[in-house]
C-alpha cells in the first residue's frame, strides 16, 4: 500500500515539446502613422530573442493585403535557441522596420477575426484561406525570395521549417504536448478593422460574446475563445495595446482588445514605447517557459479553496511536497491583493502587477508577495531539491534572492519573516530583537 504523500510526488509525467509562439503584428496604415513607435514593436521583438536560451519556437504573422482579408505567415515558428534561426528572424525583423520598406509592409486591412482564423489553420496544418503565397509575396515558403532583399526566411538563407508543404497546405509542428500561443501587438491610434465573420469555411467560432459598453462588436474575441477552447491545439492569446501619447488611444477599441485577451486565456497590457514592449514580451515568454518547465506541477494551484480574504488582503497557505518523498514539506503563508484590471477583479502582487500565470494556474515568475525582500544570494547555499533559482528576467535581484518569490513555496512571505527572527521583511540585516521567539509547527 502506498503512502499518503505518494499522490503528490513521483516522476514528472513527461516532457513538453518546445512551445510555439506566433507574433501577430499590426501592419495596417496605423503603423505608418505611428512612427517611430511603429518600429519599436519590431526592435523590441528582435532584442528579446537574445534572451531565449531554451527551445521556444517563435514565428511572425501579419495582416494580408487584398482579398480575402485576414493574415499570413511571414516567418513560421522556429526554435530561437538555435543561433541560425534567431539571426535570420532578427535580420528579417530589421528589414521590415527599415525606412525603405515601411510603405511596402504597411497598408493591410486590420481584419482581426480572419487573421486569428488563419493562425488556427496554420496550427492545425490545414489549407490556407488568406495566407496563400499567390496573395502574399513575402509568405514563408521554400524558395520564395520575397519582394525585397532579405524579406523572407528563404531569403535569409534558411532551408527548412517553412509554413507550406509542396501542395500549398500549412505544415505546423505537432510535437507531443507542445503548447501554442499568439502574442498580438496592436497599433491603437485608430479603431479596429472589419467586424469579421462568426463562420469561416464552415468552422463556427461559437455563440457571440456580449461586447462591453462603448466597445466595437467584432468576432475577434469569439475567435480568441475558439482557439483557447479548441484543444487541438489549445492556443492562448496575449494582447499588447500600443499607443503613445495617451490621447492617441481609442478607448472603445481598448475594451475590445481586453476582451480578446480575456476570451483567449491570456492577458492584456497597455504599452507605450520600446522599453515597455520589451518588458512585457519578457514577462510573457517567462510565463510560457514556466508552463513548459513545470509539466508536473510541484505545488497546488491557486484557487478559492486554499485562500482566505480580509478586506483587500488575500492570504494563501501553500506547500510543496518533498521531491524525495520525505515527510517534511516546505510550507508558507503569503499575502497578495486584489486590483481592478480593465473592469475585472484580479489577484495582484505587492507592486500591483498581475500575480497569476494563467498557463500554470500558480503564481507568476516575477510576482512578489507581501513581506518579501531582497535577500541577496541566501538560497544559493541552501540544499533544496529541486533548485529554487528564480527565472524572472525583468528583476534586478539575483536568482537566489527571496524576491521575487514567484511560484517558489519556500521563498519570501511568512517563511522569510520567521527565518529572519520575526523581524519585518524590510532589510536583510540581523534582527534587532535581543531574544528571538522560536516558532514550532
For residue 76, give the nearest of 153, 18, 166 by alpha carbon: 153
On whether both 326 and 267 belong to a single domain, the answer is no
Has residue 184 been placed in a domain?
Answer: yes
Angle at 193 between CA 192 and CA 199, to 5 degrees: 115
Burial 195-220 (b: 16+ CB within 10 A, else e): ebbbebeebebeeebeebeebbebbb
Joined grid coordinates for residue 101: 520598406
- So what's the pLDDT on residue 32? 56
Beta bridge partners of 341: 344
Angle at 59 between CA 57 and CA 61, to 5 degrees: 155
On whether both 322 and 244 belong to a single domain, the answer is no
For the ranges 223-232, 285-294, 428-437, the lowest mean pLDDT is seen at 428-437
Read off the pTM.
0.74
Residue 20, φ and ψ in degrees, nearest 5:
-110, 120
On whether both 286 and 313 belong to a single domain, the answer is no
Has residue 41 been placed in a domain?
Answer: yes
Joined grid coordinates for residue 355: 500575480
Has residue 426 been placed in a domain?
Answer: no
When pLDDT is averaged across residues 366-391 and rounded to a whole number, the result is 86
In this model, does residue 132 exceed pLDDT 90? Answer: yes
DSSP helix/strand/coil, 322: coil
What are the Cα distances from residue 237, in Å, to 190, 201, 386?
Answer: 21, 22, 30
In this model, does residue 294 exceed pLDDT 60? Answer: no
Host domain of residue 221: 20-293
In this model, does residue 206 exceed pLDDT 70? Answer: yes
Has residue 13 been placed in a domain?
Answer: no
On whether both 265 and 352 belong to a single domain, the answer is no
Report how many domains make up the chain: 2
Amino acid at each position: 500500500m502506498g503512502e499518503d504523500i505518494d499522490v503528490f510526488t513521483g516522476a514528472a509525467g513527461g516532457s513538453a515539446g518546445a512551445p510555439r509562439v506566433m507574433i501577430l503584428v499590426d501592419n495596417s496604415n496605423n503603423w505608418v502613422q505611428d512612427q517611430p513607435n511603429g518600429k519599436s514593436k519590431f526592435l523590441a521583438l528582435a532584442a528579446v530573442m537574445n534572451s531565449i536560451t531554451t527551445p521556444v519556437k517563435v514565428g511572425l504573422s501579419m495582416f494580408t493585403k487584398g482579398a480575402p482579408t485576414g493574415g499570413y505567415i511571414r516567418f513560421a515558428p522556429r526554435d530561437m535557441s538555435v543561433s541560425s534561426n534567431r539571426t535570420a528572424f532578427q535580420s528579417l525583423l530589421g528589414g521590415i522596420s527599415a525606412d525603405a520598406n515601411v510603405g511596402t509592409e504597411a497598408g493591410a486591412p486590420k481584419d482581426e477575426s480572419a487573421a486569428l482564423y488563419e493562425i488556427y489553420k496554420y496550427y492545425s496544418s490545414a489549407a490556407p484561406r488568406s495566407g496563400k503565397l499567390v496573395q502574399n509575396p513575402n509568405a514563408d515558403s521554400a524558395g520564395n525570395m520575397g519582394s525585397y532583399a532579405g524579406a523572407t526566411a528563404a531569403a535569409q538563407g534558411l532551408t527548412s521549417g517553412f509554413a507550406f508543404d509542396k501542395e500549398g497546405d500549412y505544415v505546423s509542428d505537432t510535437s507531443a504536448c507542445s503548447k501554442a500561443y499568439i502574442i498580438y501587438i496592436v497599433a491603437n491610434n485608430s479603431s479596429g478593422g472589419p467586424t469579421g465573420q462568426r463562420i469561416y469555411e464552415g468552422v463556427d467560432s461559437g455563440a457571440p460574446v456580449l461586447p462591453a459598453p462603448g466597445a466595437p462588436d467584432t468576432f475577434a474575441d469569439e475567435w480568441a475563445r475558439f482557439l483557447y477552447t479548441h484543444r487541438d491545439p489549445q492556443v492562448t492569446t496575449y494582447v499588447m495595446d500600443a499607443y503613445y501619447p495617451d490621447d492617441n488611444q481609442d478607448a472603445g477599441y481598448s475594451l475590445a482588445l481586453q476582451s480578446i485577451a480575456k476570451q483567449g486565456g491570456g492577458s492584456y497590457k497597455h504599452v507605450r514605447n520600446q522599453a515597455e514592449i520589451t518588458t512585457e514580451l519578457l514577462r510573457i515568454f517567462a510565463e510560457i517557459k514556466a508552463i513548459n518547465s513545470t509539466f508536473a506541477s510541484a505545488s497546488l494551484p491557486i484557487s478559492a479553496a486554499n485562500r482566505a480574504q480580509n478586506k483587500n488582503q488575500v492570504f494563501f497557505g501553500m506547500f510543496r511536497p518533498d521531491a524525495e518523498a520525505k515527510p517534511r514539506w516546505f510550507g508558507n503563508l503569503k499575502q497578495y491583493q486584489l486590483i481592478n484590471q480593465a473592469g475585472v477583479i484580479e489577484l495582484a502582487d505587492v507592486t500591483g502587477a498581475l500575480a497569476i500565470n494563467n498557463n500554470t494556474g500558480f503564481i507568476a515568475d516575477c510576482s512578489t508577495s507581501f513581506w518579501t525582500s531582497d535577500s541577496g544570494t541566501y538560497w544559493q547555499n541552501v540544499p533544496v531539491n529541486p533548485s529554487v533559482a528564480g527565472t524572472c528576467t525583468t528583476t534586478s535581484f539575483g536568482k537566489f534572492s527571496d524576491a521575487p518569490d514567484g511560484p517558489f513555496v519556500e521563498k519570501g512571505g511568512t517563511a522569510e519573516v520567521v527565518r529572519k527572527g520575526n523581524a519585518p521583511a524590510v532589510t536583510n540585516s540581523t534582527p534587532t530583537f535581543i531574544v528571538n521567539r522560536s516558532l514550532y509547527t
